[in-house]
Amino acid sequence: MIRSILVVCRGNICRSPVAAAMLQQRLPHCRVSSAGLTALVGQGVEPSARALAEAAGLDVSRHLARQLDARYLTQADLILVMSDEQRRLIGDRWPQAVGKVMRLGHWLEHGRGCDIPDPYRRSPDAFQWTHQLLDAASSEWAQRL
């Protein structure tokens, strides 16, 4: 049984904290957290991502970006990343964790899966598209867990 989920992206200020909040809302029996491969440690959720999250009823106000490390990977039953590249990076550095790492977008695109693009420093439309993908992906995971 999955009781602990870790959501990982690059900076831990756009995608992973929002996805973690979505999953936590949908899976209240799980402990959901997030971290970044190259985290902007101590920063809150990027303002555009935060506005979209809050408009969706998510509270990300207390989030502070944190760096991914072996301890977080060990504590998680499931690790959700945004891309195949991130899965590979985790596997290269922490091979013991690779068996529980999957893409957040694994169930999207009619089961073919897809990466969730990084909207950082991009247009409002990019943030909106990413938010929609995060919402769809977290909904799919919640139905399966």
Q: Any catalytic annotation for residue 15?
A: yes
Count Cβ neighbours within 10 Å for each residue of 20-50 and write b for 16 or more, e otherwise.
Answer: bbbbbebbeebebbbbbbebbeeebbbebbb
Q: Any catalytic annotation for residue 30?
A: no
Q: Which of these is catalytic: 9, 14, 87, 114?
A: 9
Q: Which of these is catalytic: 10, 15, 50, 103?
A: 15
Q: Which of these is catalytic: 26, 31, 77, 118?
A: 118
List, in order, residues 6 or more apart from 4 with CB less than 8 Å away. 30, 31, 32, 33, 75, 76, 77, 78
Q: Any catalytic annotation for residue 144?
A: no
Instruction: Order across the sheet with 4-9: list the strands.
Output: 31-36, 4-9, 78-81, 101-103
Task: List, by residue number, the catalytic residues.
Answer: 9, 15, 118
